[in-house]
């Protein structure tokens, strides 16, 4: 069976604090988050911008979170205002995964990796 694996990477800057955290992460601070999106599929799909089934999905749908928070993304946002749950890296990866899944076809396996710092990252898939 053929398989395509799409990868795209982006960064966004955001503020957050971890509610209930007993330590400095409980205070408001910021990160330059790095995100790697991996989309795998055995079938190609059309997209909003291409009628023929020739792509796994549109790269731009995978990169929505990189957009300015005033334009629907997460850049320069306070993550606690964007998410209904804790803003740990684990939850941020899950949140980006969920929101991206709404924008892409069902036949795609999505993996989201979020770096909170250069040497601390989390990978999420469902
Ligand atoms: Zn933090």
Residue-wise pLDDT for 79-122, tens only, equals 999 999 999 999 999 999 999 999 999 999 999 999 999 999 99
Distance from C-alpha of 48 to C-alpha of 65, rounded to nearest angstrom: 18
User: What confidence score (pLDDT) does residue 22 get?
Assistant: 95
CA of residue 26 to ligand 1 center, whole Å = 8
The answer to whether residues 56 and 4 touch, using CB atoms and an 8 Å cutoff, is yes
Residue-wise pLDDT for 40-85, tens only, equals 999 999 999 999 999 999 999 999 999 999 999 999 999 999 999 9
23: confidence class by pLDDT, cuts 50, 70, 90: very high
Fold exhibited by the domain 4-119: Tetrahydropterin Synthase; Chain A (3.30.479)
CA of residue 76 to ligand 1 center, whole Å = 14
* Residue 31: Cβ-neighbour burial (10 angstroms; 0-12, 13-18, 19+): buried
CA of residue 27 to ligand 1 center, whole Å = 9
CA of residue 61 to ligand 1 center, whole Å = 26
CA of residue 124 to ligand 1 center, whole Å = 18
CA of residue 95 to ligand 1 center, whole Å = 16
Domain boundaries, the chain: 4-119
User: What confidence score (pLDDT) does residue 14 get?
Assistant: 98
């Amino acid at each position: 069976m053929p398989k395509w694996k799409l990868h795209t990477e982006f960064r966004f800057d955001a503020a957050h604090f971890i509610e209930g955290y007993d330590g400095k992460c409980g205070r408001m601070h910021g990160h330059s988050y790095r995100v790697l999106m991996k989309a795998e599929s055995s079938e190609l799909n059309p997209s909003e911008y291409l009628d023929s089934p020739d792509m796994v999905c549109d790269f731009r749908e995978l990169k929505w979170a990189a957009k300015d928070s005033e334009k629907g993304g997460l850049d320069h946002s306070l993550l606690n205002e964007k998410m209904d749950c804790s803003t740990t890296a684990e939850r941020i990866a899950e949140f980006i995964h969920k929101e991206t899944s709404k924008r892409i076809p069902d036949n795609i396996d999505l993996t989201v990796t979020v770096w909170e710092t250069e040497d601390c990252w989390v990978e999420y898939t469902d």
